Amino acid sequence: MNRVRFTRVSAGGRSRRKVWVVAAIVACALAWVWGPDLWKVFELWREDRSLGARVQALERENAELARRIQELEEDPEAVEREARKKLGLSQTGEIVYKVIEEDSLNQTPR
């Protein structure tokens, strides 16, 4: 007796397409469920980097101010320089001259 053999023909293109369709559906579902949270994580990451740079700048400024404080506490001449510079103070017998730039003379007060 002759036996008839049936062989299954692989539908490779169809099965791959199904896999891609299922993967796309799963990706869309995940994006819909977790998308807003992932965006928030990304925003927080960017903010963290920005704040890290700001912290470094403030640490440098803080170190410079600490150095200035130490200088003013230890050096009387530094205090005198600051008083002369910021407050326009002078010692007895000195005459203080202020230089006014020409541009500031031409400006009219508002």
How confident is the model at residue 57, as a pLDDT? 95
Measured distance CA(45)–CA(52) in Å, rounded: 10
Confidence of residue 12 (pLDDT cuts 50, 70, 90): low
User: Domain residue spans in the chain?
Assistant: 12-106
CB 73 within 8 A of CB 67: no
Measured distance CA(59)–CA(53) in Å, rounded: 10
pLDDT tens digits for range 23-57: 999 888 888 887 778 788 889 999 999 999 999 99
